[in-house]
A = this chain, B = another copy of it.
Amino acid sequence: MQLSCIGIMVARMCERCNYAEMLEGHGVDTTPLREAVLRSVGDESRPLAAAEIMAAVRSRMSINKVTLYRILDLLVDKGLVKRLLAGDRAFRYGMGETRHHPDHPHFVCSRCRVMECLGPDLLPVGIKKFQTKGKRIIKHVDVRFEGICERCLKAGT
């Protein structure tokens, strides 16, 4: 990460330009903090709690917690980021759906509360074609697997 935008082409796309573009593409003016928050979420393979995002952003610049929550609200609102439930009191934040990030279920370890992304293939077939049974409107489905993660299995008795 932190690849130069005008450097030679490398395997990974220039994330820096990318995140700024993503913001603009969703009608959000980019600011250094917004970009840093989105980058912190996007550079991780698993959804993070606000406190983890704050630590990640603070490793590079200074940010107030209120600002962080406001930026997260904004990004969730614009669909760039998804607010996820892990089963404890803290929300997790992961990248919103795009071509590169298709909808997928999550796994939460009930011991260490870490949340992981599962492959979209683990979304049970047919779950996308849920009916609007009754007179309610169904907009999303959220599939959450719970159990013990690999690390805890290795570590614990």
Contact = CB atoms under 8 A, between A and B. Distances in A.
Nearest to A118: B133
Interface in A75-90: 83, 85, 87, 89
B122 A124 contact: no
17 contacts: A85-B87, A109-B136, A116-B136, A122-B130, A124-B127, A127-B127, A130-B145, A136-B150, A137-B147, A137-B153, A138-B147, A139-B147, A140-B145, A142-B142, A143-B143, A143-B144, A144-B144
Contacts of A147: 136-140
A85 to B, nearest CB: 4
A151 to B, nearest CB: 9
